Chains A and B, each alone.
Chain A
Amino acid sequence: MWSFYFHELMRSLPFFLKGLWMTVAVAGLGLIAATIIGFILGIVRAGRNKILRSIIGVWVDLIRGTPFLVQVFIVFFILPSAGIELEAFPAAVIALSNMGASFICEIVASGILSVPKGQREAATASGLSNYQQLRYIILPQAMRSIIPPLVGQYVLIIKDSSVVSAIGVVDVTRVGWLTVQRIPEGLMVFGLVGILYFAICYPLINLSNYMERRMTVTATRL
C-alpha cells in the first residue's frame, strides 16, 4: 500500500512543482512590494514628523496584533464590500505585502536610528540636504544593521505565504491539501511539501545568520 501511494505521489510531482512556482510567485511579489513600501515608510518612521510616525506606529501595531490568516480573510472578504472585487491571488499578494511592509518598516527605522548622531551632525555641518544625508551618509551605514534581519523577514514572508492556501490560492501547501484527499498518506504528502519549503528557507536562514556574524565583526573593528 505504502509503495503504491509513494508511486502515486511521484506521479503528482509536476503538480507540486506548479504549486511551488505559485508559492514563489506570491511570496516573491509580496516580498518585493513589502520591501519598497517598507523602506519608504521606515524612512518616514525614523524621521522628524511626529504625526506621521504615530500613524505608522498604529498601523504596525494593528498588523502585529492580529493573525495573518485573519488579515488575509479581511482583504479577501471585506474589501469587496468597499467596492474592490478581488480574486484570490491579488488578495494574497496584497495581504502579504501589507504585513511584510509593516515589519520591514520597523527594521529599516531602527537601522536608520542606530547610525550615530554625530554622522548626521557632520553631514548637516557641511551643508548636505536631508535627502543627500539620507542617500550618501545615513542609509549606506544603516544597511549594515538592516540586511540580516531583512533576509530573516523574507524567510517569514515565504513561510506565511502558505496561509493564503486558505482562500484557494493553489500554492504548494494547497497542492498538498488537494493531493492528500486522494492519496491519504499525510506524512508522505506533507513531508514532501515540508522538504520543498525547507529547500528554500534553510539556505536563506543560514545566509541571514552568516551576514549577521560578518556585519557585527566589522562593526566592532570600527
Chain B
Amino acid sequence: MISFKNVNKWFGDLHVLKDINLEVSHGEVVVVCGPSGSGKSTLIRCINRLEPIQKGELVVDNMNVHDKKINMTKIRAEIGFIFQSFNLYPHMTALGNVTIAPIRVRKMSKEEAEKIAKKALVRVGLGDRINHYPAQLSGGQQQRVAIARGLGMKPKIMLFDEPTSALDPEMINEVLDVMRDLAKEGMTMMVVTHEMGFAREVASRVVFMDDGQIIEVAPPNDFFTNPQSERGKHFLSSILTH
C-alpha cells in the first residue's frame, strides 16, 4: 500500500530523512516512534506530499506521490490525515467540517455527504454534537471530529501525526479508543505516537526512528521487551521510567 524506496529529504542543509526504506501493506497498523527531531512527523507528512522529498521514491496505492505530473487530489482523497493540533475549521460545525471535502472533492451531493458524515460522527461517538462548532467542543471531542473528517472521505489509508500529544490526559483514551476500533476493522494506519500501550495492543509493527533514519523495525512485543539497537534501548528506558 505504502512503499518508501531510498527516500531522502533535506530542510535546506539539514538532512532530515536518510535513505528510508519501508513497506506498509494493506490492513497493517504501523506505529512510528522515536525521540524529538528523529524525523517521524516528517516521514508521514511526505506520504500525502504535505512535505516534498528530494531523492527516492514514495509510492502509495501504485501511484508515485512525488511525481510532478501526478494528480495529488486523487491521492489525497484516499488518505485521511489527523493533525496534532486538530486543525478543524472553526467557522463550520462538526457536520460542516466532515462534509466539505466529500462535497467539493468527491463531488457528492449534500444529502449523500451528510448521510455519510452523520455515520462517521456517530462512529466516533459524537452523534449528538453534529451541529456544534469546534469552539464548543473539548480537545478530545475536536480530535474525534477530525478523525470523522478523515473517515468522511472513505479513505484507504489513515495517517496520524501525534494525535494525542496536544490533549489533556483525561481525554487521551477517548481518542485512542476510536483509533483502536479503526485498527480492528482493518484500516491501513500509520501512527506517530508516544502511546506505547496503544502500540502494543494494535500495531503489527513498530518503526523506531532516530536522527532521520529507521533504526529498528519489529513487532511491538519484540521491540518493547527486547530492543536490538542501542539507541532503541536508550529511548525505551527514557520513556518507560515515568
Contacts and interface: CB of A to CB of B under 8 A. Distances in A.
A37 B197 CA distance: 56
Interface residues of B, number: 25
A221 B135 contact: yes
Interface string A109-122: 00000001011011
Interface string B42-59: 000000101000000000
Interface in B145-200: 149-150, 153
Given A118-B85, A118-B87, A128 B79 contact: no
Interface residues of A, number: 19
Contacts of B134: 222
B101 A128 contact: yes
Interface string B127-143: 00000001100000000
A125 B105 contact: no
Given A119-B89, A121-B50, A222-B90, A127 B83 contact: no
A183 to B, nearest CB: 55
Interface in A82-141: 116, 118-119, 121-129, 132, 136-137, 140-141
B83 A122 contact: yes
Nearest to B146: A122
User: Looking at chain A's contact residues, is the secondary structure mostly helix, strand, loop, or mixed?
Assistant: helix
Nearest to B134: A222
Given A141-B91, A222-B135, A128 B85 contact: no
Given A121-B83, A221-B135, A222-B135, A126 B101 contact: yes
Contact of B76 (A124, A140, A221): A124
Top 9 A-B pairs ranked by shortest CB distance? Answer: A122-B87, A126-B101, A127-B76, A125-B81, A118-B87, A127-B105, A127-B77, A127-B73, A132-B104
Interface of A: 116, 118-119, 121-129, 132, 136-137, 140-141, 221-222
